[in-house]
Copies of this chain bind each other. A is one copy, B any other.
């Protein structure tokens, strides 16, 4: 008989947490119990899961007893304190924050890209940054076949990456601008409605933002440390789904039709690329979908073996909640011992 799991979701009421619960509902995992955890203020609120109702408990020591998997989307600070506690209480943690990603003892996993890393887990598994996940799902088949030398990427990132408050901020500011009223900003340092902000996360000493350097370091940890990455991360007034203009230099020559075939048959990828029907990936088409959409596939003549792409995916799903749930599924599928 297959094992039935007890799964906790930490940050169950957040933008990503609520998507995690939906993705767990759709999953083929046998789940005997859901444990929704959140901050003290949310205790007692109800979450529906596979037609049962579960009350939210406080995410704190003791909450993880009997839990097999604890999927965290509660931010780096909460994760730094609670993840080791969860592990101590017997749960395998899949953490969506940046807290553990670069820890050498923590596997950083995209199931389509590096599932074998799961075998090395010591209780905590990190979910990569949203911009990294969709980029690497698209680049993995290309790297396997032609070897990627350098990636130049400019992002067009949705506000939902900053949580539900940011979605409300975009909506309220948009309404204010349309009604010619003054706007106020709380989540972002500047107005995001009808604007673009070339800053995501804090600035580091080298002039890059933390978001940009995540794309560099996580690419090295997940795919290949030899790939050179030049990132620019920009917030755009889109609710959901990140877009990325990606310009690649490959180490080997390629044919465009081969790349299209490779991507078309790649796991988790959908090619949307037909100039006759003006079809290409866009955020409004990707939202609510599980796949990574790739289009604008074209030869970059400005460099040897140059290849350009436009990649879009729902940042709350494959970029966060879905990937975390897929990590759990992959561990079960690969029969990896928990703790």
Chain A: residues with CB nearer than 8 A to chain B?
150-152, 154, 156, 170-171, 174-175, 178, 189-191, 194-199, 203, 206-208, 228-230, 232, 234, 236-239, 243, 245, 247, 256, 275, 278, 280-284, 295-303, 306, 308, 310
Contacts and interface: CB of A to CB of B under 8 A. Distances in A.
Contact of A302 (B152, B197, B236, B275): B152
A245 B154 contact: yes
B282 A207 contact: no
Nearest to A283: B195
Contact of A199 (B194, B280, B301): B280
Contacts of A238: 194-196, 237
A275 B201 CA distance: 12
Nearest to A230: B302
Q: Which of A175, A196, A243 has the most CB of B within 10 A?
A: A196
6 contacts: A171-B178, A178-B178, A190-B284, A195-B238, A207-B297, A230-B302
Nearest to A195: B284
A297 B198 CA distance: 12
A161 to B, nearest CB: 14
Ranked 6 nearest A-B pairs via Cβ: A207-B298, A154-B154, A228-B302, A203-B275, A154-B245, A232-B245
A230 to B, nearest CB: 4
Contacts of A299: 206-207
A208 to B, nearest CB: 6
